[in-house]
Amino acid sequence: MSRMRVRKLFRKTRFFFFALFGLIVISVSVLSITTVSRELSVEYESNSRSIAQNIADSSVDILLNRNLATLQSLIDQFVQIESIRYIYITSETGEFLAHTFVPGIPDEILASDASSTATVERSLPGLGDFIEVGAPILSGVAGTVHVGMDLELLGLKIQRAIGAQMALFGIIFVIGSLLTFWFVNLASQPLADLLAFAVRMAGGESATGDEPVLSRDDEAGELARLFVHVNRRAAGADRER
């Protein structure tokens, strides 16, 4: 018995499935990009500020002892932290007392307000983009610590987080699609059998009673049996005429 496929009936179902999935993916992605970006940025800035404050607190005695070698040693240890790209410490008069720049202090930083502790974003030619925070040493009377965090690294972290989500969505999409096709085929099988049976009967074949669709106990089976019954009644009426 040739199998007939029921495509048209489920076309809308499949369209609806993909449309709904796309909507979920887009809305969740937008939400997660916004959330992850905001949360990571906040965490980044918070960490930077904590580190800057930590250095500022540790620097008081060192600065009062005018021990700049130890001060440099201190910031050299902090700059080994992955996301920190530069640190510089300025005196209360704005003089650069210690820093981690090679081959020199960028002009943009030389020109900036050394006593400012505000969070600023900097783009330094040849170095990259940074978010810089400041922390006062002894309320600013002994100087200011500035810590620059790598924005590219932050971007990379956001990309990684979003990428992981996208990968998860992709896997769910592939599995969902396969399951949908399988389920639609499974659900349409009785209808396909019924359609094939009806086509054969319309072609003048008489039902033998062996057709599998006649033994089904679902709606397709009842419809098939009803077709047989109607067909037989129609055949009896023809003979009486």
Q: Please, which residue, 1 or 110, has the CB nearer to other proteins?
A: 110
According to CB under 8 A, which one of 72, 116, 165, 189 is a site residue for other proteins? 72
Name the one range near other proteins by CB under 8 A: 2-10, 76-84, 163-171, 214-222: 76-84
The pair of structure tokens assigned to 166 is 């996208």
Name the one range near other proteins by CB under 8 A: 46-54, 72-80, 113-121, 201-209: 72-80
Q: Please, which residue, 143 or 221, has the CB nearer to other proteins?
A: 143
**Using rule CB under 8 A, residue 69 touches other proteins:** yes
Residue 37 CA to residue 32 CA, distance in Å, equals 8
- Alpha helices (H) along the chain: 8-64, 68-78, 107-110, 151-202, 219-240
Q: What are the angstrom distances between the C-alpha of 215 and each of 50, 196, 203?
A: 75, 15, 21
According to CB under 8 A, which one of 98, 133, 147, 220 is a site residue for other proteins? 98
CA distance from start to end of the chain: 34
116-138 b/e (C-beta count within 10 Å ≥ 16 → b): ebeeeebebeebebbbbbbbbbe
According to CB under 8 A, which one of 3, 12, 66, 241 is a site residue for other proteins? 66
According to CB under 8 A, which one of 19, 28, 42, 68 is a site residue for other proteins? 68
Residue 146's nearest CA partner among 239, 71, 53 is: 53
**Using rule CB under 8 A, residue 13 touches other proteins:** no
Binding stretches for other proteins (CB under 8 A): 65-73, 76, 80-82, 84, 98-105
